[in-house]
Amino acid sequence: MGVVSKGREEAWNLVCEYVQDAGLRRHMLAVSAAMRFYAEELGHDPAYWETVGLLHDFDWEIHPDLDRHPIQGAEILRERGWDEETIRVILSHYTAGTAVEREKPIDFALLACDEITGLIIATALVRPSQDIRDVKLKSIRKKWKNTRFAAGVDRDHVIEVTNDFSLVCFDGRLDLWDHIANVLAAMQADAELLELDGRLG
């Protein structure tokens, strides 16, 4: 079974089935947008990378701990007929628990795009407009320095996985703030889908 056996629509249906929390859905949509951006940058299949980004945390609401996520989620994906390559990529975003190492560009991209979206979303949500299109990189820099803001975002981990992604996919030329700017731009392009287009302000 090839890696294009299922697509974004099937991934979104699975997310809607297993995830009721709007914030978690927003997170997966944000990672999906960033993954599409990097697939285009790196000459890979944007539709596939987008689908993986959308799917990667679909089981977090039912398995909200790292003893079960994403290992038990992988079993659901198998039952639903998802291909082993997609499952492998998703397992690689938590190597410590799954023992699945990152090997391919998509693996490094997924981990690099995952946690940083949380800081960007939080920055958008504290703006009066709650419109991500109003967020500037300098605002995210300020919030980055204040470790009490979005305290769940592990800054050291973000630096580490961005460095790994940069080395593997950009010969070390992608620095942290270029990466964050890219993820922000990808998310701004999907402001309406993320419901960060001012409707909450």
pLDDT (tens digit, 9 = 90+) per residue, 66-104?
A: 888 999 999 999 999 999 999 999 999 999 989 999 999
> Using an 8 Å Cβ cutoff, are 36 and 46 in contact?
yes
Give the separation between CA 113 and CA 109, rounded to whole angstroms: 6
pLDDT of res. 66: 81
The runs of H, that is alpha helices, within the chain are 8-18, 22-42, 46-55, 71-79, 84-91, 95-98, 105-114, 116-125, 137-145, 155-170, 176-189
With both helix axes pointing from N to C terminus, report the angle between 8-18 and 22-42 in degrees, rounded to the nearest 10.
Answer: 160
Average pLDDT over residues 182-194: 98
- Taking Cα atoms as reference points, which of 104, 103, 130, 119 lies closest to residue 179? 119
Per-residue b/e over 55-89, b at no fewer than 16 CB within 10 Å?
A: bbbbbbeebeeeeebbbebbebbeeeebeebbbbb
Q: Is the predicted pLDDT of residue 2 greater than 60, yes or no?
A: no
Domain boundaries, the chain: 8-189
> Which H or E element spans position 1?
none
Give the separation between CA 164 and CA 102, rounded to whole angstroms: 10
Q: How high is the mean pLDDT of the chain? A: 95
DSSP 175: -
DSSP 68: T
Q: What is the tens place of the pLDDT at every residue in 99-142? A: 999 999 999 999 999 999 999 999 999 999 999 999 999 999 99
> Using an 8 Å Cβ cutoff, are 54 and 31 in contact?
yes
CB atoms under 10 Å from CB of 31, counted, come to 29
Per-residue b/e over 153-177, b at no fewer than 16 CB within 10 Å?
A: bebeebeebbbebbebbbeeebebe
Question: What is the residue type of 198?
Answer: G
